Structure 1
Amino acid sequence: MHYSPGAPILQSYDLISWEYISHAVPTLNWGSKYNLVGGQAYVKGIYASTLRYRQSNGLWYWIGCIEYSTTYVFTAPSVTGPWTQTASISTCYYDAGLLIDDDDTMYVAYGNTNINVAQLSSNGLSQVKTQQVFASTVGSIEGSRMYKVNGKYYIFNTLPASAEYVLQASSPFGPYTQKLLESNVGTPVSGAGIPHQGGIVDTPSGQWYYMAFIDNYPGGRTPVLAPITWGSDGFPVLTTSNGAWPKSEAYPLSQHNLTNPLGTDSFSGTSLSAQWEWNHNPDTTKFTVNNGLTLRTATVTSDLYKARNTLTHRIYGPKSRGTIALTISSMASGDRAGLAMLRDSSAYVAVVNNGGTFRVSQVSGLTMDSTWNTVSTGSEVAGVNLPGGTTKVWFRATADISPTGKTASFQYSTDGTTFSNIGNSYSLNTTWEFFMGYRYGIFNYATSALGGSVTVSSFDMEAA
C-alpha cells in the first residue's frame, strides 16, 4: 500500500505472538505521487506479495506487482536486511505466491480468475516462461499461495471474501484439480468477516495450520489460525469447531513471548523501529530521530491527507489508548501538530499556533472520495486556548476498533497526568475498500510557511 517503508516483516516462534522486525521495501520508488508530490498514491503500491528464503544462495526474496504493471524483486542476505531492489519483471505477478522447488527451481503462482505459473531464471531475477494453469469456474479467485507437499503441487486461492479453494497437481504447470477448503465458515470474532485468503505452515513435529485473515474493520484485516489435516485424496481438510472457525486452540508450539506491542517508545537511538511506517515516503530532511522524534514541517497545506511526514502506527485491539508527548515551543505561526485516527475518514486532536496563541483543537469530518481524493479537510468540533507559556502538551486517542465498538475519543493534558476530554465520540468507518484499518497518525504541517518544528518525546500505547 502507500505506507513507507513497505512490505512489513514479522517473526514468531509459536505462530501466535508476532513482532515487527523489518521491511522488504525500504522506499516506494514508483513515482513522485508516492512522495505526496504532484498527486497521491492512497490504496496503491504493494498488494498481496510473497516472501521466501532460498537456502542455495543464502538470500531472502520478496516479489510483488505494483499497480497491475511491473513486478519487482527485492533481495537481502538476512530477513532484517539490508533489502535492495535487484530486478524488475514486465509481467505483473498479481497476488504472487513463490515456491522454491526441491531442485531449487523458482516458480510464482499468480493471477485473478485465470491462474498462472511463471518459472524464474536460475538467479530468480527474470522470467523463463509463464503459462495459464487453471481457469476458474467458481468466480474471481485470487490470492495465490504455492506449495509442494509430499510430491504434489498446491495453489491456494481465495474467492473474496467468503471462501478458500485449493488446486492440486503433479507438476507445477498442471493439470490442476480444484477442491473447496472452506466456505462461509463462522467467524471467530463477533461482527467480523469470514476467514479467507491465506497460506499454510507446518511445525517441526509435523502439524499443519492454515492462517487466513478476517475483515475486522474498523481495525483492519486480522490473521486467524486453525489446524488442518490431509485427506486420503491429498487435499487439506480444515479443522472446525461445531462447523465454525475455532475461537481458541492450544499453542501450536511452545509459547514464546516476544516484544510486547504495548508500552512506551521514547524514540531512543537514531532510527525508527520497525513498528512505524510513514504515510507515503517521507521527506528525510524534515525529521530527526535522536532520543526523541523531531518533525519539521514538510508541507504547506490545509489538508492532513496531503501533508508529508505523517508517522503511523497500527492500533492495538480491540481497545487501546495511544498517547504522545509533544514539545511545541518551536512551532511557527499557522503550524498544526497532533495525533490522528487516520483512514479515509479521519479525526484528530492538535495544537494550532494562531499567531502566538496556542489552541488545542479537535477536528472531525476529514473524508476522501472513492478515488481517495480529499472531499473535506474537516472542521473543529471543540477547542480551548492553552495558557501562555505552555511548551509541552500530551495528546491521547482512545479507540475501540472492534466491529461492534467502532468509536474513538480524544483527550489532552498539559502535565501528562491529568487528561481532559475534548470533542465528541467519533464513529469509525467500517467499509473495506480502503483495505487498511485505522492507525494512529502523528503529524506536523504548516498552513503558512515552513520552518517550524515539534519534538515527540514519547509514544505510549496501552490496552483500554
Structure 2
Amino acid sequence: MFLRAITTLFLAHAPLVLSQTLTNPVVWQDHPDLDVFRIGRTFYYSSSTFAYSPGAPVLRSFDLANWEAVTHSVPYLNFSPANNYNLTSNSRAYVKGIWASTLRYRPSTDTFYWLGCIDGGKTHVWSSPGGNARANGGEVPTETWNWTPRPVIDKCYYDAGLFFDDDDSQVYVVYGNTQIRVAQLSVASNGDLREVRNQLVYTSSDMTLEGARMYKRNGEYWIWVTRPADAQFVLRANNPWGPYTRRVLVERIQGPLTSAGYAHQGGIVDTEDGRWFYAGFMDAYPGGRIPVVAPLTWGGDGWPSLVRDSANGWGKTYPIPVATTRKVNVLGPRVDEFRGSKLGPEWEWNHNPDNGKWNSGDGLVLRTATVTGDLFAARNTLTHRIVGPKSRGTFRIDVGAMRDGDRAGAVLFRDRAAYIGLHKTGNTASLVMVNNLNLVEGSWTTSSTGSVVATGPSVTGEIWLRIQADITPAFGTNTGRQAIFSYSTDGRTFTTLGPAFAMSNSWRYFTGYRFGVFNFATKALGGEIKVKSFAMELV
C-alpha cells in the first residue's frame, strides 16, 4: 500500500502537463554532442554516452520544448576490444566509446542510420528499418525500433554529421578537426554504406573547428562547426564540395545558466512551417552538458542570426516553437517499478551488462556478476541521469538474498563517486556510507576503492536508499556541489548517513553525475538483490 501511495505522491509532482513555453535548458539532464532533425511533425535528438550501454540515446519531441526518451541506436557496444566494453579481463572503457556521433533518417527505405567513430579508429554503423516513420508524421511505435549493426567503415569519421540530400540517393558525411572533410557514401540494396568519394572542403588556419553537421536550405549547403568550447561557426557553399565561406553564429554568448560554459556544438532544425531553431549544449558540471534551444532568423544576405534576449544573451525562455496536443513522457521526475521485461530507455548500464545476471518484471533482480573489490570494475551497475537543478533519487531494495562478501546499494556514479549501501559479512548486512571512490584522470584506472566513513544498522529485508544531489552548475569554480545520502526502514522517515559529498566539476570525464544501483561480490557469485522501485523527484 505504501508503494502505491508514494508512487501517487511522486507522480503528482511529475511534469504530466507539458510546458507551454520553450524554457532553457530544454532538458536539464546530461545529453551532449547533440544531433537534431525532423521527420514530418516529429523531432529527434541523438547524443553521446561513452562507455554506458545501451548507447546513443534517442529523444523525441513534437514541439522542441518537451522531450522524451524512446530508444537507443546502439543496443549493445559491439566495439573492439570487446573485453573493454564488457568489463572483463581487468579492462574497461570509461571515457571511450560513443562521442559526437550522428543520426539521420532515409525516407526512401524507411531507415534510421546511426554512425559513430569509436576510439579514433573505425566508424561503426547501426540502422533501424521498418518503423513507417515517413507515413506516420515521423512517429515510430516503441515495439518497431529494430536496431541492427551494419558493416564497419574502415575510416574514422571524427565528429561526424550524416546528411541525406533532397532525393536521398546522395548521402554525405561531414567530419574532421580543423580540416573539415566531406565523404560521399553509396547505399547498397541491402542498406549497407560504403564510401565512394572523399574530399577536403575547408581548412581552418586560425582556430580548432569540429563537431560538424551538414544541412541544405534554399539550394545551398551549410556546415555547422564548433570552436570548443565557446563558439559556433557556419560554413556556406553552393554545393557539398565547396568552396565554403565562414561566419560566426555565436561566440561566448551569455546565459541562460550561471556558472556554466557557453552554448556551442549543436545543430539546426526547421519546423513544418519553415522556421528554424539552433540547439546546442552548455558545460554545466557537475551535472554534465545540458541542451539549450533558441530560434534563428535569416538575413537578407542569407546568413542566420540567433534570436537573443534583452541582455543580448541566450534567452531563458522563448515562445514555444510548435503548438501541439501530442503528449510525451517528459524527461524528469518519475517512478519506475520495473514492471516490464525490458528496462525503460532512461536507463543505461556502466558498460555492457551480463544479461544472465539480471531480470526485470516484478521488480529488478540484480544478481552478482563480478567478484571484485572495486565498484568501477563491477558489471551491471545500472545508472539514471540526474535531473537538475536539485533532485533526489530513492531506491527501494530488498537485500534479503545477499551473500557473505556482497556489496550493494545506491551510488552517485562518476569518476569520483560515493555510495550508501550494504556490506554483507557472514549473516549480517551492515549499512554503510562509502566515499572517495576515485579514478585517475586520464588513464581512468582506479586510484581508490573508497573508504567507509559512516555505518548504520544491520538490514535483513527492505531498505530505502536515497541520494539527494545538487547539480546546479558550478563549472569553472571551486565550489563542490553537495550530495546527501540517507536511508529509511519504512519509506517515510529518512536518516542521513555520513558527511555530505562534494562533487567534481571537472569536464575531463565528459559525462555528468548519475544515480545508480549496484550489486557485486567480493568473495563468490550467487547473491542477489531486488530493486522494487526507483523514484526521482525535484527538491
Structure 1 and Structure 2 fold alike (TM over 0.5): yes
Aligned residue for 2:415?
A: 344
Q: Is residue 111 of structure 1 aligned with residue 182 of structure 2?
A: no
For the residue of structure 2 that corresponds to 1:194, the secondary structure is coil
Aligned residue for 2:535?
A: 460
Per-residue CA deviations over 1:28-53 (Å, capped at 9, x if unaligned) read: 01121100012000010111111111
Quote the offset at 1:358 in angstroms.
Answer: 1.6
Q: Please give the alpha-carbon distance, in whole angstroms, between the structure 2 residues aligned to 1:245 and 1:138.
A: 26
Matches within 5 A, 1:40-439: 40-77=92-129, 78=131, 80=142, 81-104=145-168, 105-123=170-188, 125-241=193-309, 242-254=311-323, 256-260=326-330, 261-370=332-441, 371-386=443-458, 390-404=460-474, 406-439=481-514
Q: Please give the alpha-carbon distance, in whole angstroms, between the structure 2 residues aligned to 1:117 and 1:169.
A: 13
Per-residue CA deviations over 1:416-446 (Å, capped at 9, x if unaligned) read: 1111000111111011011110000110000
Per-residue CA deviations over 1:43-89 (Å, capped at 9, x if unaligned) read: 10111111111111111111111111101111112355210011211
Per-residue CA deviations over 1:146-176 (Å, capped at 9, x if unaligned) read: 0001000000000000101010001101111
Aligned residue for 2:38?
A: none
Select which of 427, 430, 443 maps to 2:518: 443
The letter for the 2-side match of 1:297 is T
Whether the 8 Å contact between 1:338 and 1:351 is mirrored in structure 2 is: yes
The letter for the 2-side match of 1:380 is V
The letter for the 1-side match of 2:446 is T
Per-residue CA deviations over 1:193-216 (Å, capped at 9, x if unaligned) read: 100000001111221110000001
Q: Is residue 36 of structure 1 aligned with residue 36 of structure 2?
A: no
Quote the offset at 1:129 in angstroms.
Answer: 1.1
Q: Please give the alpha-carbon distance, in whole angstroms, between the structure 1 residues aligned to 2:481 and 2:201.
A: 42
Q: Please give the alpha-carbon distance, in whole angstroms, between the structure 1 residues aligned to 2:396 and 2:93.
A: 30
Q: Please give the alpha-carbon distance, in whole angstroms, between the structure 2 residues aligned to 1:433 and 1:293.
A: 32
Between structures 1 and 2, the one with greater strand share: 1
Q: Please give the alpha-carbon distance, in whole angstroms, between the structure 1 residues aligned to 2:439 and 2:264.
A: 28
For the residue of structure 2 that corresponds to 1:252, the secondary structure is coil
Quote the offset at 1:137 in angstroms.
Answer: 2.1
For the residue of structure 2 that corresponds to 1:305, the secondary structure is helix
Per-residue CA deviations over 1:104-135 (Å, capped at 9, x if unaligned) read: 20000000010000000133611011111000
Aligned residue for 1:26?
A: 75
Whether the 8 Å contact between 1:99 and 1:147 is mirrored in structure 2 is: yes
For the residue of structure 1 that corresponds to 2:57, the secondary structure is strand
- The number of aligned residues is 462
Quote the offset at 1:414 in angstroms.
Answer: 1.1
- Choose 121-130 or 359-368, whichever is displaced more: 121-130
Q: Please give the alpha-carbon distance, in whole angstroms, between the structure 1 residues aligned to 2:446 and 2:59.
A: 32
Q: Please give the alpha-carbon distance, in whole angstroms, between the structure 1 residues aligned to 2:487 and 2:206.
A: 52
Q: Please give the alpha-carbon distance, in whole angstroms, between the structure 1 residues aligned to 2:308 and 2:94.
A: 37
Q: Please give the alpha-carbon distance, in whole angstroms, between the structure 1 residues aligned to 2:391 and 2:63.
A: 24
Q: Please give the alpha-carbon distance, in whole angstroms, between the structure 2 residues aligned to 1:421 and 1:385.
A: 12
Whether the 8 Å contact between 1:133 and 1:173 is mirrored in structure 2 is: yes
Gaps of 5+ in 1: none
Q: Please give the alpha-carbon distance, in whole angstroms, between the structure 2 residues aligned to 1:396 and 1:228.
A: 42
Whether the 8 Å contact between 1:339 and 1:348 is mirrored in structure 2 is: yes
For the residue of structure 2 that corresponds to 1:56, the secondary structure is helix
Q: Please give the alpha-carbon distance, in whole angstroms, between the structure 2 residues aligned to 1:203 and 1:410.
A: 44
Relative distance call for 1:90 and 1:406 in structure 2 (3 A) is same
Gaps of 5+ in 2: 1-49, 132-139, 475-479
Whether the 8 Å contact between 1:339 and 1:349 is mirrored in structure 2 is: yes
Q: Which is bigger in relative contact order (C-alpha 8 A, separation at least 6)?
A: 2
For the residue of structure 2 that corresponds to 1:161, the secondary structure is coil
